[in-house]
């Protein structure tokens, strides 16, 4: 999925983004939300930790209504598909990316939520890789210097449990409180 427009102010909501993108102006809100959730869920493949973040945010959406900011999973930050010919054949993700989701509470607030799996700190055999970790933290700094707020979750924090559900609910509540939404 490509987001080609500016998020604008006060930020774009999930449904407004999806209605515009898919041309669903006549569809009932419930149908729009289900369509969007199914598409976002498919983008996650078999990563259950990432799916828990999406599910927690979707539950918030159901509880609070469709005027919450859009949370878009699997975002390629700083990727321009129209200049792809000048880059590698596969679009480069930020080295920090495992799950990169993008959320904008207001146009001046850009948030990245990361789900850091083993690929962030270990090589293909599972052994600690100091160079890989250094690249990740360097990219984290770069994102912050470019104006993004970065919130990280370790994959091991996101196991299937009521405690994880409470942690994610609390996180999204506190994030919304911080930005008064």
Report angle CA 21, 22, 27 to the nearest 5 degrees. Answer: 125
Nearest CA among 56, 44, 77 for reference residue 148: 77
Q: Are 66 and 175 in contact (CB under 8 A)?
A: no
In a domain, 30, yes or no: yes
Q: HSE-up of 119 (CA within 13 Å, CB side)? A: 10
pLDDT digits (tens, 9 = 90+) for 18-43: 888 899 999 998 898 889 889 989 98
Sign, Cα dihedral of 177, 56, 60, 96: positive
> How many structural domains does the chain have?
1
In whole angstroms, what is the distance from residue 21 CA to residue 145 CA? 30
pLDDT of residue 85 exceeding 90 = no
In a domain, 69, yes or no: yes
In a domain, 178, yes or no: no
Q: Are 105 and 152 in contact (CB under 8 A)?
A: no
In a domain, 3, yes or no: no
Return the HEC string of the chain.
CCCCCCCCCCCCEHHHHHHHHHCCCCCCHHHHHHHHHHHHHHCCCCCHHHHHHHHHHHHHHHHHCCCCECEECCCCCCCCHHHHHHCCCCCCCCCCCCEEEEEEEECCEEEEEEEECHHHCECCCCCECHHHHHHHHHHHHHHHHCCEEEEEEEHHHCCCCHHHHHHHHHHHHHHHHHCCC
pLDDT number for residue 92: 41
Average pLDDT over residues 105-118: 78
In a domain, 177, yes or no: no
64 — pLDDT class (breaks 50, 70, 90): confident
In a domain, 9, yes or no: no
Comparing 37 with 4, which gets the higher pLDDT? Answer: 37
In a domain, 20, yes or no: yes
* Residue-number span of the structural domain to which 131 is assigned: 14-159
94 — pLDDT class (breaks 50, 70, 90): very low
In a domain, 6, yes or no: no
Q: Look up the pTM and report it.
A: 0.75
pLDDT number for residue 69: 77
Helix 162-178 / helix 48-64 crossing angle, nearest 10 deg: 60
Q: What's the mean per-residue pLDDT of the chain?
A: 78
């Amino acid at each position: 999925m490509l987001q080609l427009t500016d998020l604008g102010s006060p930020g774009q909501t999930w449904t407004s983004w999806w209605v515009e993108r898919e041309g669903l102006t006549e569809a009932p809100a419930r149908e729009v939300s289900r369509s969007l959730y199914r598409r976002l869920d498919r983008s996650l493949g078999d990563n259950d930790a990432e799916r828990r973040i999406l599910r927690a945010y979707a539950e918030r959406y159901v509880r609070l209504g469709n005027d919450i900011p859009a949370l878009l999973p699997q975002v390629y930050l700083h990727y321009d598909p129209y200049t792809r010919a000048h880059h590698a054949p596969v679009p480069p993700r930020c080295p920090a990316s495992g799950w990169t989701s993008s959320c904008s509470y207001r146009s001046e607030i850009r948030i990245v939520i990361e789900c850091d799996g083993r690929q962030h700190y270990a090589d293909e055999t599972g052994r600690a890789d100091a160079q890989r970790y250094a690249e990740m933290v360097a990219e984290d700094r770069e994102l912050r210097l470019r104006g993004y707020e970065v919130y990280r979750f370790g994959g091991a924090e996101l196991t299937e449990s009521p405690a994880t559900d409470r942690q994610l609910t609390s996180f999204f509540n506190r994030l919304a409180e911080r930005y008064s939404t």
